């Protein structure tokens, strides 16, 4: 397996691995055959804007073992050439796990969503081993390094060995939960996947491929989920920050 080191690009103070999908999958495949624990983050403009106001979150992003360029917004910086959508990487890693006998688990999403994700993926990849599917907790969005009260680890998550753990609590919350808890868990690689569970479960429709290739998936999501308008305003702030060189 490749030992290639990827040069990280600095976008608004956040380090991004300018990596292709095949390179990302190959990198994770190598990790799964070695000792150690690692985590993957999926920065997009919303992440970068949030990191400006939350230094703990920024530090988590910058210390990630893999920080993929999730979306066209990263290319607008002029520093990143590649796009690796988090939802697509998740499914590629699931396919890798099914082919090579690695165990996966799904943690988070709404009521029954993680279970639906597992059902759909097992139907698509019959050899896939799923150790558990669990709904996520309500985690305070502004929690920093969690207090003992906020450290939420179900017994099954604490006890069952897993090669790949996909966590969908929403950005910031899922990354903080992973970093705080990964040292305690029998997990090789953890990845925060945000809304990927909704796409894969069919709960939310994903933009057609031609729209994704045009870099307009964000607009498609806004049309079908108008409530996201407040979150999409982060894109405008991101573009403004790029012009300021901040």
231 is a domain residue: no
Q: Extract the tokens encoding 26.
A: 């190959």
- CA torsion angle for 35, 43, 18, 76 (degrees, to 10)? 180
2 is a domain residue: no
Give the up-direction half-sphere exposure of residue 63: CA atoms within 13 A in the CB hemisphere.
12
Residues near 74 by beta carbon (within 8 Å), at least 6 away in sequence? 11, 16, 43, 44, 45, 80, 83
Report how far residue 216's alpha carbon sits from residue 195's, in angstroms, rounded to the nearest whole number: 16
235 is a domain residue: no
Contact (CB, 8 A) for 178 and 56: no
136 is a domain residue: yes
158 is a domain residue: yes
229 is a domain residue: no
Report how far residue 104's alpha carbon sits from residue 25's, in angstroms, rounded to the nearest whole number: 15
The two beta strands, 162-168 and 129-134, are unpaired
Say if pTM beats, i.e. exceeds, 0.75. yes
170 is a domain residue: yes
Report how far residue 170's alpha carbon sits from residue 109's, in angstroms, rounded to the nearest whole number: 9
* Residue 43 belongs to domain with CATH number: 3.40.50
Contact (CB, 8 A) for 215 and 229: no
212 is a domain residue: no
3-state secondary structure of 105: strand
The tally of domains found in the chain comes to 1
Partnered with residue 190 across adjacent β-strands are 39, 165
Residue 152 lies in domain: 8-201
What pLDDT score does 156 carry?
Answer: 80
Tens of pLDDT, residue by residue, the chain (246 residues): 444 566 789 999 999 999 999 999 999 999 999 999 999 999 999 999 999 999 999 999 999 999 999 988 888 888 999 999 999 999 999 999 999 999 999 999 888 899 999 999 999 999 999 999 998 765 544 444 444 444 567 778 888 899 999 999 988 989 999 999 999 999 999 999 988 898 898 766 565 665 666 565 655 565 555 555 566 667 778 788 888 866
DSSP per residue, 116-141: HHHHHHHHHSTT-EEEEEE------T
């Amino acid at each position: 397996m490749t030992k290639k080191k990827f040069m990280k690009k600095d976008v608004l103070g956040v380090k991004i691995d300018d990596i292709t999908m095949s390179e990302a999958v190959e990198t994770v495949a190598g990790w799964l055959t070695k000792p150690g624990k690692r985590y993957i983050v999926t920065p997009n403009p919303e992440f970068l804007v949030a990191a400006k106001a939350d230094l703990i979150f920024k530090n988590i992003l910058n210390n990630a073992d893999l920080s993929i360029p999730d979306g066209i917004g990263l290319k607008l910086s002029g520093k990143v050439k590649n796009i690796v959508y988090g939802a697509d990487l998740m499914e590629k890693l699931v396919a890798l796990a099914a082919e090579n006998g690695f165990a996966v688990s799904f943690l988070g999403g709404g009521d029954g969503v993680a279970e639906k994700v597992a059902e759909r993926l097992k139907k698509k990849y019959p050899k896939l081993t799923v150790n558990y599917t669990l709904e996520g907790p309500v985690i305070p969005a502004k929690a920093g390094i969690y207090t003992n009260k906020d450290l939420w680890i179900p017994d099954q998550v604490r006890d069952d060995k897993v090669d790949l753990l996909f966590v969908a609590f929403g950005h910031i919350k899922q990354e903080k939960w992973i970093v705080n808890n990964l040292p305690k868990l029998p997990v090789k690689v953890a990845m925060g996947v945000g809304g990927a569970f909704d796409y894969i479960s069919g709960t939310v429709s994903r933009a057609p491929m031609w729209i994704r290739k045009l870099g307009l998936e964000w607009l498609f999501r806004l049309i079908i989920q108008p409530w996201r308008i407040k979150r999409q305003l982060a894109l405008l702030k991101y573009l403004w920050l790029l012009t300021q060189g901040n």
